[in-house]
Amino acid sequence: MAPTQSRSCCRFSIRNALRHPIAILKVVILTTAVLFFTYLTRSYSASLAFKSPSPYAQYDNFTSTLSDSAVSVPPLSPAKVKTSGWEETVIPSGAHVHGFTVLDNIYLRDGTFYVVTDDPSFPPRNRLLSRPVEMKGGGGGEDPTPTDEQLQFISPDQATSILGDSLTRIEGFSVIVYDVPQFVGHFYHWFGEIILGAWRVYSHILLSSPSSPLPFPRRFILPFISDDKWRDKAGMDGPLMRAAFPDVPIEQAGYWDDLRKLGKTVVFSRVMLVNRSAAHKHPFGGVWYKMIAGAMNVTAPHDFWAPIRASLLRNVLAPGLIPDSTQDPPSLPLVTYISRQGTGRRLLAADHNALVDALKELEVEGLCEVQIAVLERMTLAEQIELVARSLIIVGVHGNGLTHQLWMPPQPRSTMIEIFFPNGYTFDYEIVARNMGHRHYAVWNDTFLTYPEGTTHKGVKYPEGFHGDKIPVYPPTVVSIIRERLS
């Protein structure tokens, strides 16, 4: 009876409606309007779900101004991005090496990263990051091996059940230094390894899209560092970061905790994930013994560092003091000797004096200009201006040699590093190779230099390496300078 009654009701409704043609016309018009509105709503919702904002923000020059997005939908609030399909996590242009990885669409929930992928060739997580523990030599200390608490791999089919269906999207390029304070608060470790290594690997993207300049970071994030412990004792890292990246905030542990406490999923459009422990696991870590060792195996354009150097010089120096590669070089090249005689690791006093005299003799000959720099007595701007004008830098192994980052590369640009005899470490040789400077190691009356493709074997710290009685035979240094300036 139920079906019969249902059909009867239908016939009754139609029969009654036929008696009122005007009512029929109104119903048709109303129904058409409802259907059309429903179509528009669904089409717009689909555009939001499948046409998400541009994978990463583009910058004009070195500002944080976003250029036009490739997507033609109205801008969305980053607080509410609904997705019915998941953007997979990818490594653009293969920009990855142990400890330095560019990731597009990396997800974060409750402090844990999620890589959404079905790609079986994706690098394992111990090449991406580690547990946030201090590194100890000789196998001591806590196990740094990452767990599910740090990063998990999930498939797109699992994403909704694990991450939910509501996302907070953080646009632009973020640099996440996933490290504890142990090595971060040091001029060389910060700029000569973290920033330099990250930018080299990031610049690898230019090889596949050379016509598009890389956008500068939108933010730096230090999840496990608070109270400004990323700053170095010499006070270099802070002001130099503000000069190189003037409009980029440096977020610390509080920011990370805020994201965790949201209780929802955050997706970063593009991230450079940096981790020291993972970086040291690269096979080159046993050759160069430095965090940046593996990054040397990543191809990058010539003078990839130029945008950062240019930004820093522009924001530190007066316009007339900024080196201009389009103009003729100065008549006399500048040789700068960075003196460490006021520090613990330094030359024998007599050898220091003899070296100064020998360098000054070159100036008297008219071969070069010579400056003797005592960095701790100079302002930051004076230090940067001096190294930016230099062609050759001479100095005992030490933090000040990191300043070669601001010396423009030239065919004859040179770093001469004085070691205690038979001692060797790769810190400033690696920086020199990245910058395009020729590096020389001086052992008293002997010097070593390694062409591209060759390197010193091993690190050596003989007794006296960090002492105040480092010898140097000045004619050895002078002979290198003459050869490079000839």
Write down the pLDDT at residue 353. Answer: 98
Q: Three-state SS string across the chain, please?
A: CHHHHHHHHHHHHHHHHHCCHHHHHHHHHHHHHHHHHHHHHHHHHHHHHHCCCCCCCCECCCCCCECCCCCCCCCCCCCCEECCCCCCCECHHHCEECCEEEEEEEEEECCEEEEECCCCCCCCHHHCCCCCCCCCHHHCCCCCCCCCCCEEEECHHHHHHHHCCEEEEEEEEEEEECCCCCCCCCHHHHHHHHHHHHHHHHHHHHHCCCCCCCCCCCEEECCCCCCCCCCCCCCCHHHHHHHHCCCCCEECHHHHHHHHHCCCEEEEEEEEEECHHHHCCCCCHHHHCCCCCHHHHCCCCCCCCHHHHHHHHHHHCCHHHCCCCCCCCCCCCEEEEECCCCCCCCECHHHHHHHHHHHHHHHHHCCCEEEEECHHHCCHHHHHHHHHHEEEEEEECCHHHHHHHHCCCCCCCEEEEECCCCCECCHHHHHHHHHCCEEEEEEECEEECCCCCCCCCCCECCCCCCCCCECECHHHHHHHHHHHHC
Contact between residue 202 and residue 91 where contact means Cβ atoms under 8 Å apart:
no
Mean pLDDT, contiguous 10-residue spans, the chain (486 residues): 36 40 49 45 34 26 25 30 69 97 98 96 97 81 94 96 93 98 96 98 93 93 97 96 97 97 95 97 91 95 96 91 71 96 96 98 97 97 97 98 97 97 97 97 98 91 97 98 96
Contact between residue 266 and residue 255 where contact means Cβ atoms under 8 Å apart:
no
Q: What residue ranges define each of the domains in the chain, with the CATH number in brackets?
A: 81-135+143-310 (no CATH), 332-485 (3.40.50)
Cα gap 53→73, rounded to integer Å: 8
Structure-token pair, residue 279: 């970086």
Write down the pLDDT at residue 180. Answer: 96
Write down the pLDDT at residue 326. Answer: 62
Write down the pLDDT at residue 79. Answer: 32
Write down the pLDDT at residue 71. Answer: 26
Contact between residue 289 and residue 459 where contact means Cβ atoms under 8 Å apart:
yes
Write down the pLDDT at residue 223. Answer: 98
Structure-token pair, residue 410: 């030239």
Contact between residue 331 and residue 468 where contact means Cβ atoms under 8 Å apart:
no
Contact between residue 336 and residue 393 where contact means Cβ atoms under 8 Å apart:
yes
User: What is the residue type of 203?
Assistant: S
Cα gap 235→232, rounded to integer Å: 5
